[in-house]
A and B are shown apart, each in its own frame.
Chain A
């Protein structure tokens, strides 16, 4: 108990607005995320782990920073993923550091060993390396605390140890899906009356996150 479990659409919702179900499925098929914790079949969705949620987010971020054409970025992302992920979730964390090698490629060092990822003559701006360092540090921080924040919704969180990672209002076990259900049916004022310990902003964020109009 205490490990997050996510369906693909749930990962998409948590990592909105740039994530899509198609991207996640594609990366799964490409082997970038490893095996899902349960293979989906008709009527049974794929189930992904908290680790895989972080992998999806990290790949997205790396992908965004490498503004190469898709054909060229794919092998680089694949190699980076193979290199980064086993180290990122290691018990003993040796911070990964990205830098430009003498040959202009992407260098990755874990303190003990240095690796080189070939980018195929693509010029990588210096700023990308510090971004990579930030992305990986952020992923490790979230891995350590077992929690990801949700972009644009600072009052919401997906904590792997709370309701199996279902998005909740921070500091509670109250799921955004349930609050949205209440707002849809009762309106925001009545919902706040029922849950006086929740504040308006948290309830509004939960409803908005679940695409429930606030006029409901």
Chain B
């Protein structure tokens, strides 16, 4: 099972770091294809399918509310969303991103392989769990 990393996250060398852990659980993180850089949101589900991904890995640094419809549309198009939540614009660093995702990669793989329908998986320091958009929006992180 592949997880497509959105273009934001594809430059961090994160895929190698995550795959060192995730392959054991049948999950491979794939960087956003160079030829699709700058692609429209509407093309993302197709790109995900092209690389055999059933989920998109995204990060939220601020203004989550504004991305609600984007995530909702991905889920409606059959693509799950794994969203790493930053506690605030000023907290965390790259090591935090890598550490948090590697810590929860097993759980993420498990959720993705166990659900039949598309889901949103909210990941933060302490947990990775499927969540509804409303649930995520109720929490204020920004």
Contacts and interface: CB of A to CB of B under 8 A. Distances in A.
Interface of A: 1-3, 5-7, 9-10, 43-45, 47, 161-166, 171-175, 177-178, 180-182, 184-186, 194-197, 210
Given A184-B90, A194-B11, A195-B11, 5 more contacts: A5-B70, A164-B67, A171-B37, A173-B6, A185-B93
Interface in B18-55: 32, 37-42, 44
Contacts of B37: 171-173, 197
7 contacts: A5-B67, A162-B39, A162-B40, A163-B70, A186-B94, A194-B11, A197-B37
A161 B93 contact: no
B140 A181 contact: no
A180 B38 CA distance: 18
A172 B7 contact: yes
B74 interface: yes
A44 B65 CA distance: 7
A31 B17 CA distance: 51
Contacts of A196: 11
B18 to A, nearest CB: 15
A210 B63 CA distance: 13
A63 to B, nearest CB: 25
Contacts of B32: 173
B67 A1 contact: no
Given A164-B69, A166-B66, A171-B38, A194 B90 contact: no
B72 to A, nearest CB: 9
